[in-house]
Amino acid sequence: MPDLHPLLSAFAPIWALTAVGYVVARAGLLGPQAELVLTRFVFHVAMPAALFLMISRTPLGSFANPSMLAFAAGTTVATALGLLAGRLLFRRKRGELAIGAMASGYVNSANLGIPVTMQVIGDASFVGPVVLFQILVVTPAVLTVLDSGAAGRRALLTLPLRNPVLIATALGAVASATGLRLPAELHHSADLLGAAGVPTALVALGMSLHNRPAAEGRSLRAEVGLTVAVKTLVQPLVALIMAGPVLHLPTHQLLTVVLFSALPTAQNVYTYAREYGQGTDLARDTVLWSTLVSMGTLSAIAWTLRPA
């Protein structure tokens, strides 16, 4: 069985920064609006910088391969189940349905994907195609739904011109396709801004734990439990079936696809939920509980599928 310590080391920064956010909120160091301000900083400033650099440095054709087909199948099934559960079982509204679907299938590819796969298989190259797929396909679809339902005051046709995440995505894709690069000084500045996104988002997530309602309804707990089960169990299982019996991928690729599919829900989902005020409790709790549960499921996958 693989050593659990390396996996714990990969998760430790997430828990530490979330705990910092909780302590900061509990002590009232940054005031009552701090969580909202930090989340908006991530959405409007840090995240666009990080996405632009990441996409501009990744070949756009890298996700056109059989491994990505298996990963996309798991993502599609998981998001569809999250959407159906939110609509049929929990009667969620349109924007909340988008967040629930995203929470069910949007993996924490960079923060955890890189350290986990490096520890288990010694290769994190699959993170590029996964990031491209989630940013270029999943994120625009979710943000379009969220933005189109924002109090009916925004024109859907102008969404790409107003949403900083989509603007950065489009510019990054153009830079990748044309080979354009920022001057060194601008590149370094964008890199610094982008690096602030993940820790700030985790601190904001921790602050939200202190600001959460005193009691959660049974319906929310059931929805979170179902969403976490879909994310950590169903999504990697579908990827396993596609990668193994259907596509017959080599053992190394099969393990890589299943590991990435089993990663927990990304904190980006909470950032989007907080920015649009849709499904915030569901996103927050799914990020936290899927991260905790995935420590066990990722270890089990590595033990079961890793070659002797």
- Over the stretch 181-239, which tens digit does the pLDDT of each residue have? 889 889 999 999 989 988 998 898 888 888 776 556 778 899 999 999 999 999 999 99
Give Cα 303 to chain centroid, integer Å.
Answer: 24
Query: By three-state DSSP, how is residue 277 classified?
Result: coil
Write down the mean pLDDT value for the chain: 87
The pair phi, psi for residue 91, each rounded to 5°, is 55, 45
Contact 44, 161 (CB under 8 A): no
What pLDDT, on the 0 to 100 scale, is given for residue 283? 94
Give the single-character DSSP code of 126.
T
Any idea what the Cα angle at residue 257 is, between residues 252 and 258, rounded to 5°? 100
Domain that holds residue 121: 4-305
Amino acid at 172: G
Q: Is the pLDDT of residue 1 over 50?
A: no
Among 154, 185, 186, 152, residue whose Cα is nearest residue 171: 186
Give the HSE-up count for residue 5: Cα atoms under 13 Å, Cβ half-sphere.
1
What pLDDT, on the 0 to 100 scale, is given for residue 200? 92
Amino acid at 51: L
Instruction: Label residue 270 by pLDDT band (50, 70, 90).
Output: very high
What value does the mean pLDDT take over residues 279-300?
A: 92
What residue has token string 């189940």?
81
What residue has token string 């890298």?
62
Contact 282, 85 (CB under 8 A): no
Tokens of 56: 């501009």
What pLDDT, on the 0 to 100 scale, is given for residue 203? 92
Among 160, 178, 154, 152, residue whose Cα is nearest residue 57: 178
Among 42, 41, 48, residue whose Cα is nearest residue 167: 48
Give the HSE-up count for residue 50: Cα atoms under 13 Å, Cβ half-sphere.
22
Give the number of domains in the chain.
Answer: 1
265 strand-pairing partners: 107
Tokens of 127: 């993170």
Q: Is the pLDDT of residue 7 over 80?
A: no
What value does the mean pLDDT take over residues 82-90?
A: 94
Give start and end residues of each alpha helix (H) in the chain: 4-27, 34-41, 47-56, 66-84, 94-105, 113-120, 127-133, 139-148, 159-162, 164-178, 184-195, 197-211, 218-229, 235-241, 251-261, 268-276, 280-305
Measured distance CA(12)–CA(98) in Å, rounded: 29
Burial of 160 (0-12, 13-18, 19+ CB in 10 A): middle
Q: pTM for the whole thing?
A: 0.84
Query: By three-state DSSP, how is residue 297 classified?
Result: helix
What value does the mean pLDDT take over residues 52-58?
A: 87
Instruction: Label residue 68 by pLDDT band (50, 70, 90).
Output: very high
CATH number at residue 79: 1.20.1530.20
Rg (CA), the chain: 19
- What pLDDT, in 10s, does the model give residues 10-21? 778 888 898 999
What value does the mean pLDDT take over residues 100-112?
A: 91
The percentage of the chain sitting over the pLDDT mark of 70, rounded to a whole number, equals 91
- What pLDDT, in 10s, does the model give residues 131-166? 889 988 998 888 888 877 655 545 555 555 667 888
Q: How many residues can be counted in the chain?
A: 308
The percentage of the chain sitting over the pLDDT mark of 90, rounded to a whole number, equals 44
